[in-house]
Structure 1
Amino acid sequence: MKLIADSGSTKTDWCLLGDNNSITYFDTEGFNPYYVDADYIYNAIVAKLPANLDTEKVKEIYFYGAGCSGDKNPIVETALARIFKHAHIEVEHDLLAAARALLGDDTGFVAILGTGANSCLYNGKTITHQIDSLGFMLGDEGSGAYIGKQLLVSYGRGQLPEDLRIEFWNEYGLTPDDIVEHAHSKPLPNRFCASFVRFIAPRMEHPYINRIIRKAFTDCFENMISLYPDFKLYSLNCVGSIGYMFSAILSDVAKTYGMRTGNIIKAPIEGLISYHAKATVQPLGDANEASI
């Protein structure tokens, strides 16, 4: 049996491919090894495993995750090996998952816009060029965490229009001091900021909210996508809840930069099922090794 996982910073989608072509889905929280350790990952997975999943029979695991590269991969590998003792385990960057799900064996440009953000060029086998998003603290423009942070900044500085300020207070009851305390003193600040997309999404037509979203995507193009050589020659293929939810705005911003829109999907798991159902994939090593 093969187990495939696509892990963002908020949620992990799992799919078990049985020997009789059966498919079993389940989900856990997301595991970014920059923010959680092997014990945390182990305990969180064990708590959510389906009761009928026989861990002894899982022979191959393909785990794609945000933050999975270089010396961070062993954190995830260690947790998985404690649960699935007889499995061959491959841990790869979530960019490779996005590329395989969106493009299969074709070449092109790929972006991730979920809780976090990332992008790359893909040659049908490996990632050939990646401009680092620099993560939540320094970058991640266009991500849910980035968009949520802009809302919180506007709220904390008294810039939100009065109607939005009242709605925000009524929904969350948070003061600016509460927000600062949470963002600076509690774990997973990226997930905290991204959680406010739930407030933003149903109000995306509000002029002020629309500008926040549009500015986030513009920053993504200005600081990442437009830095790729000849980026206008590629179509924008994107995976992630933020790109999917706000696809009309994203496509409009892409058009202003002269880039056409390709495939935009919410999650890569279905594409990964098709990819891994074809054949066993040989290890590729660190997805960033081919980066420029």
Structure 2
Amino acid sequence: MILIADGGSTKTSWCQLSDAGQRVYFNTEGYNPDFIDTPGIVASLDKNLPETLPRAEVREIYFYGAGVSSQAKGDVIANALRRIFPNLSKVEVTEDLLAAARALLGHAPGFAAILGTGTNSCIYDGQKITYNVDSLGYFLGDEGSGSFLGKRLLRDYLRGLLPDGLQEALRVEYHLGSRNDIIDRLYNQPLPNRFLASFAKFAYDHNNVSYCRQIVVEAFEAFFQNIVLHYPGYQELTFNCVGSVGYNFRDALTQVANSHGMQVGKIIRSPIDDLVSFHEHAG
């Protein structure tokens, strides 16, 4: 039995693949090693893995994760997996960007992006990532992501700039406290990127308000201006994307991509199905 996991910063999508090819899907929390250590991952997996999952029968795990930017970061996750699954013969932990490329493009070359809690993108040659413009994370970049949208919404909320009744709606829907409470949540409590990204749903739920539509378009415009336009020959490539933000706002994303002379190909919410198929065929 093998496990394949697509790990974002907020959620990890798993597939349990039996030797007979049967698939069982489940979700856990996200495990970005920038924000959680090995004991934290072990504790979360112990609590959240399905009771029906036969841990002793798992022989191989392919884990694609946000924040897996080095061998050391990957080891944070791999070491946790080895503690949870005692009979592993193979553990591969690599970046979620490769999962996106494999799910979107298979073995074909092209452009692949992630627009979820965070942002990432690359040119892929059908086997490996060959070019990447660094998204720089939620502090410095991650344009177009859920955390980028959340930052905009919270900033405008704290300055009293939200229009059309959105000020009160945001306060009520997210049980927001004082300015100091919000700042404390961002600077002193864990997983601030996940907290910021949670506000992207507000923009989606209020998409009938022109302000919400506008900030989404502006977020994607920033993504293109600061990242996509810096890929050589980008207009010759098709734009392919995974992630909840890209999927939920795909109309706006298509509009912005087309305005920069880039045709849109595949936009999917989650790569897990296509990723499992990739590994089935590879096996």
Please indicate, yes or no, whether the TM-score normalized by the shorter chain is above 0.5: yes
Secondary structure of 1:264's counterpart equals: strand
SS for the counterpart of 2:152 is helix
Task: Name the CA distance, whole Å, in 2 between partners of 1:77 and 1:30.
Answer: 14
SS in structure 1 opposite 2:9?
coil
The C-alpha deviation readout for 1:196-238, integer Å capped at 9, x for no partner, is 1221111123111111111110000000010000111101100
Corresponding residue of 1:109: 111
The Cα offsets for residues 63-113 of structure 1, whole Å up to 9 and x where unpaired, read as 000011212011001000111222200001000000000000000000000
| TM-score (norm. length: structure 2) | 0.96
- 2:123 maps to a residue whose letter is L
1:283: which partner in 2?
A: none
Q: Aligned partners of 2:262, 2:121: CA distance in 1, in Å?
A: 14
Q: List gaps (5 residues or longer) in structure 1.
A: 281-292
For residue 137 of structure 2, what is the aligned residue in structure 1?
A: 135
Give the match's secondary structure for 1:75: helix
Correspondences of 1:122-271 after superposition (within 5 Å): 122-174=124-176, 175-271=178-274
- Checking the alignment, whether the CA contact within 8 Å between 1:33 and 1:76 is kept in structure 2 is yes
SS at match of 1:112: strand
In structure 1, the partner of 2:82 is 81
The within-5 A match list for 1:45-60 is 45-60=45-60
Whole-angstrom CA distance in 1 between matches of 2:26 and 2:213: 34
What's the CA shift for 1:170?
2.6
Instruction: Say whether the 8 Å CA contact 1:64–1:93 is kept in structure 2.
Output: yes
Letter in 2 for 1:212: I
Identity of aligned residues (%): 49
* Alpha-carbon distance between aligned partners in 2 of 1:194 and 1:154, rounded to the nearest angstrom: 15
Q: Once the 2 structures are TM-superposed, how far is the Cα of residue 162 of structure 1 from its aligned partner?
A: 4.7
The whole-number CA distance in structure 2 between the counterparts of 1:66 and 1:241 is: 14
Q: Which amino acid aligns with 2:93?
A: V
- How many residue pairs match? The answer is 280
Greater RCO structure (CA 8 Å; 6+ sep): 1
Structure 2, unaligned runs of 5 or more: none
- The equivalent of 1:285 in structure 2 is none
- Give the TM-score taking structure 1 as reference length: 0.93
Displacement, 1:173? Answer: 3.9
Q: Specify the code of the residue in structure 1 equivalent to 2:146.
A: G
Whole-angstrom CA distance in 2 between matches of 1:261 and 1:197: 22
Partners in 2 of 1:52 and 1:170 — Cα distance?
Answer: 38
Q: For the residues of structure 2 that align with 1:77 and 1:103, how far apart are their CA atoms?
A: 26
Q: Distance in 2 between matches of 1:173 and 1:270?
A: 35
Equivalent in the alignment of 2:94: 92
Q: Distance in 2 between matches of 1:236 and 1:152?
A: 29
> Partners in 2 of 1:37 and 1:173 — Cα distance?
29
Moved more, 174-183 or 223-232: 174-183
Indicate the SS of the match to 1:132: coil
The separation in 2 between residues aligned to 1:202 and 1:279, in whole angstroms, is 40
CA contact (8 A) 1:155 1:176 kept: no
Q: How much is the aligned-residue C-alpha RMSD, in angstroms? A: 1.1
User: How many angstroms does 1:43 deviate by?
Assistant: 1.1
| 1:169 Cα deviation from its structure 2 partner | 2.3
CA apart distance, 1:178: 2.3
Amino acid at match of 2:108: D
After alignment, is 6-15 or 190-199 more displaced? 190-199
